[in-house]
Structure 1
Amino acid sequence: MADNATPPQLTFTVGGFQANAVAVLLKTFAGSYVWRLDWWVAQTNSEQIVTYAVNNGTAYQYLVPELNKPLRICYGSCFGVHTLQDVNKLRNKNAMWKVLARVHQEKPYHLFFLGGDQVYSDQVWEMVPALRNWLSKKLKKRVQAPFTPEMEQEVASFYFNLYTRMWSQKQPAAILSQIPTLMMWDDHDIFDGWGSYVPEQQECPVFKGIYYQAREHFRLFQLQTNTDGVIGELALLGKSGYTFAHRMGDLALVALDLRSERTQNQVTSPESWDSLQTWLDEAIREKLLPDGTPQKACKHLLVLSGIPVVNADLTLLETALNIRPGQQRMEDDLKDQWLSRAHQQERLRLIRGLLKFSQESGCRVTLVSGDAHVAFTGFIQSEPEANTGAEPLVINQLTSSAMVNLPPPTLVVYMMEKLLAGKVEVLDQGITARLLKFPGTNRRIIGARNWLSLTLDEQPSIHAEWYVEGEEKPFAKVIPPINVK
């Protein structure tokens, strides 16, 4: 962002070569200008240090990984709090950002995967006067009211200022300047529970107007684009959402957009699921390319599902709350879950599709998730048909949350632990899911702020490490490729 229309100049240096980035103006707002600075560095047979500076200012560095060699990835989610009152409850708000900075200095990361709720926009209802006035009306009048120019201006200003404040914090800004990022949004990047409200609210002019502004600023500040349909070199999948995918050597990444197409009865459109399946078939299976050269199959597929696919089953609580729909604060959170009754068939489609892909391709599938404000590990297993002698198919889920937000109260974590103890969920014939004991503990739930480190080795195995607030050493788990016995 700059205070005039003169394009900033970014100069970068790699291997003794120096060049300038191309400045692209993305947005002008209230006397401010948002620029994207485009440059690229080709991977080689050596890891490369890229040094860059904007307008001859502070010099920053990041790493370009060696071609077809293991990557180091960090993952985090939930980088804010729900309400203004919650801000006062935070102590050392950016403590886990500081831990990430320390670990990065010791063993630098190549990529930072941000899994949702990068900003908490729930305060839009408190901080936008036109929306406070709208909320004071009865429901019937609210759903009929227009999204006025005054609302649009105030909401646009809210999201623009929210992102510029978040992105300019000292610790987050330091990390974002040193580690390239991939980001996917979740509900709080819009507002709490987006997509899980009753249709008359979800489709009302004010809700849709707020969503449009949230989407524009998500694209602008998280995807660095001001148009739909293009996110750099990433494959953008689906009908109208932002599900994207990318392959990097033995590793492939898919980030599921669980918000753009969400309704009470749908998480993602059938067209988006079909598009994902097509990409998996074409991009990461072993096959001959059109020029006759062989394409090796990926060894690992990381699927980012911001909301955990394997979780505590809260459908009984959801049913109880349906006695008085719309009255309980937790209701939209329950309907957001993959285990909500309305989403269970779609969840099963996702799981069966990933198991089938893993079986046919020999690629290990691992789910990465956040949202829950606790850390845990999920385990999906599909038993082979009788007398085949095949090994069971397994999908691990690694859940890390939150990096900034508050963990649940100790009593809630205790009750979740009791609810999960020894429980195995039967998903379908021969397919089960459960939460495992957290690595090195007798607990299934870790109720503290945390972030996740993922390092590939030459096998290639994935070494997962949770850095947890208050713990001296990370909790570790290893996920081998399928072909390692």
Structure 2
Amino acid sequence: MTDKLVLGPIIGLESDNHYTILFVVKNIQSAVVLLGEQIIRAQCIGEIVSGGVWRADIHVPQKAQGFFVEYKVVCDNKQYQSQLAISEWAFYVPGANEKPKFAYASCNGFSDYRLMNTTENPYSLWDQMKSEHHSAPFAALLMGGDQVYADSIWSAIEPLQKWNELGIDEKIKRPATVDMKKKIDRFYSELYVSRWNQPQVAQILATVPSVMMWDDHDIFDGWGSYPEKLTNCPVYQAIYGAAKKHFELLQVRGPQNRSLIGNLADLKHYSMSLTFGTYTIFALDNRSERTLSQVMSESHWDDIAAALNHCTSGDLLVMTAVPVVYRDFAAAESIVDSTPWEEEVTDDLKDHWRAKEHQGERQKLIMRLLDNAKMRKGKTVLLSGDVHVGCLGVIRDKRETSPINIHQVVSSGIVHPAPTYIQWLGILAITNDDTEYLDENKSITADMLKPYGSNQYIRARNFVTLLEGSDNKLWVNWMLEGKDKPAYPLAAQ
């Protein structure tokens, strides 16, 4: 019988020259990754119900020309296969002067079983990404949130079903029992193994180095945007603890991740910063510390400021799962705030950066990015998902003679379907995309733009590719289901 990994391998990116290989395997004593004749020892960084989580750190010196690195996984002196019966993999390392090709994707799953059962070819865009990779290889895959959808936790675990039927005052009194905690832990373990072993997903994760940051569905829908008494109750905290453990081990690849910018001795958040060629990739953790009144804590903001101070050249890609520039829900929010329905729908509205409680932090983020762009003289691109449509936004700063633009690219989702026509009409009816003025002199504005070759809002499943052309513009191409081929060139400052 062939020895197989439970999950993986999954290749991660942590800097220009530093990659990781992660895999989950049961009942082994030692593991190594083979790069040709080179033997890289792996370490077990933790356990999940499905097995031990092993990580190997790989240093790959750059060469003048791009090349593929081939690797194998050996456990207890036996070569292991993936669940797809593959035992050798390869990933691409760009050349020293090569412009790296990026993919960005989010929303890799379904918020309910009805959508799952009615979606034809759920993983077709992963197949399309594989074709793109074969024609011109991706140097990195940036995954901007909802890498798994954990919303079925409320129906999959019987004790949670019963707890969820209680009134809120009774819910917050109930403890999370040992049995409940075991079932929650098993749920997340099996969720990752099931979703990431989908053949189309597994092939990309094993061959394209990735950087991942979570969003609410990696925990459950709306996490961090519920009333404090619910968020802090024993059952919610038990769920969050299990979700966090699996996120840290499988998406972050452990606290050993070299790109983490927080205090590793007391990790409160998972924001990351890494350099890759002429790019800095900045992944903001907007879930670990989110409450109704904050997105990130003061110490977290200090970490961000320090990381930005080190970003002094090149282009900056900022991963923030929820769009910073998007339609305005203020009218709907004000209605809900004044009705008895608030606790029922507050998570959907308070999740947005433009919710009134988060507007100050949003302004802080925008102004710090503008200050950094002015100093750095490079492109700044926000990469977001969450909203299940693709779109493009821009922040324009005209306070000086040389204007500064920050663009935002939204890609969502690679698996989750877009809103239906009727649902989209409802969203349009309660929101607007009027020009937003971000300072009292009306010299800083935020607007939605229309990509070339499509409608302003791309109501189809999608992912994006980013590649700088010979014109020094960063070309964004939305790859989607349907005949449209949206694209937009982002110019240098």
In terms of mean alpha carbon deviation, does 44-53 or 415-424 score higher?
415-424
Please say if residues 48 and 246 of structure 2, whose CA atoms lie closer than 8 Å, have aligned partners that are also in contact.
Answer: no
Contact conserved, 2:31 with 2:43, CA < 8 A, in 1?
no
The alignment status of 1:284 with 2:284, answered yes or no, reads no
- Inter-partner Cα distance in structure 2 for 1:82 and 1:365: 31
Equivalent runs, 1:388-407 vs 2, <5 Å: 390-407=401-418
2:468 equivalent in structure 1: 456
1:348 matches 2:358: no
2:131 is matched with which residue? 102
- CA gap 1:61/1:337 in 2 versus in 1, 3 angstroms: same
Cα deviation for residue 208 of structure 1 reads 1.0
- Check conservation: 1:72, 1:453, Cα contact below 8 A: yes
Are the counterparts in 1 of residues 72 and 88 from structure 2 also a CA contact under 8 Å? yes
| Range with bigger deviation, 155-164 or 31-40 | 31-40
* 2:318 aligned partner, one-letter code: V
Report the equivalent of 2:52: 33
- Distance (whole Å) between structure 1 residues aligned to residue 344 and residue 412 of structure 2: 20
Instruction: Give yes or no for contact 1:97–1:403 (8 Å, CA) kept in 2.
Output: yes
CA distance in 1, matches of 2:122, 2:413: 11
Q: Tell whether the 8 Å contact from 1:420 to 1:435 is kept in structure 2 after alignment.
A: no
- Judge conservation of contact 2:332–2:430 (CA < 8 Å) in 1: no
Please give the per-residue CA displacement for 1:194-219, whole angstroms capped at 9, x wherever unaligned.
11111111111111111111000001
Residue equivalent to 2:352: 337
Q: Distance in 2 between matches of 1:126 and 1:313?
A: 33
> Counterparts of 2:432 and 2:182 in 1: how far apart (Å)?
50
Contact 2:31–2:41, Cα closer than 8 Å, also in 1:
no
SS at match of 1:381: strand
Distance 1:2 1:359 in 2: 48
Write the distance in 2 (CA, Å) between the matches of 1:149 and 1:421: 47
Trace 1:4-43 onto structure 2 (pairs within 5 A): 4-13=27-36, 18-30=37-49, 32-43=51-62
> How many residue pairs align between the two structures?
455
SS at 1:379 equivalent: strand
Letter in 1 for 2:332: L
**Contact map agreement 1:426 1:433 (CA 8 A) in 2:** yes
1:249 aligns with 2:277: yes
1:274 to 302, 312, 322: 302
DSSP-derived class of the 2:145 partner: coil
The code of the aligned residue for 2:167 comes to: K
- 8 A contact 2:42–2:55 mirrored in 1: yes
CA shift in 2, pair 1:122/1:352, >3 Å: same
Calculate the aligned-residue CA RMSD, in Å: 2.0
Residue 288 of structure 1 is matched in structure 2 by none
Q: Kindly provide the amino acid, as one letter, of the partner of residue 311 in structure 2.
A: I
Structure 1, unpaired ranges of 5+: 286-296
User: How many Å apart are 1:440 and its aligned residue?
Assistant: 2.4
2-side partners of 1:54 and 1:440: how far apart?
44
Task: Give the secondary-structure state (helix, strand or coil) at the position aligned to 2:424.
Answer: helix
Structure 2 unmatched runs, 5+: 1-23, 82-86
Rounded Cα–Cα distance in structure 2 between residues aligned with 1:41 and 1:478: 31
**TM-score with structure 2 setting the length:** 0.88
Output aligned runs, 1:42-441, within 5 Å.
42-55=61-74, 56=79, 57=81, 58-225=87-254, 227=255, 230-231=256-257, 233-237=258-262, 240-281=268-309, 283-285=310-312, 297-298=313-314, 300-325=315-340, 330-385=345-400, 390-414=401-425, 423-429=434-440, 430-441=443-454
Partner deviation per Cα, 1:7-50 (whole Å, 9 max, x = no partner):
3443123xxxx212212113334473222233221212221211
**Structure 1 residue 431: deviation in Å?**
1.1
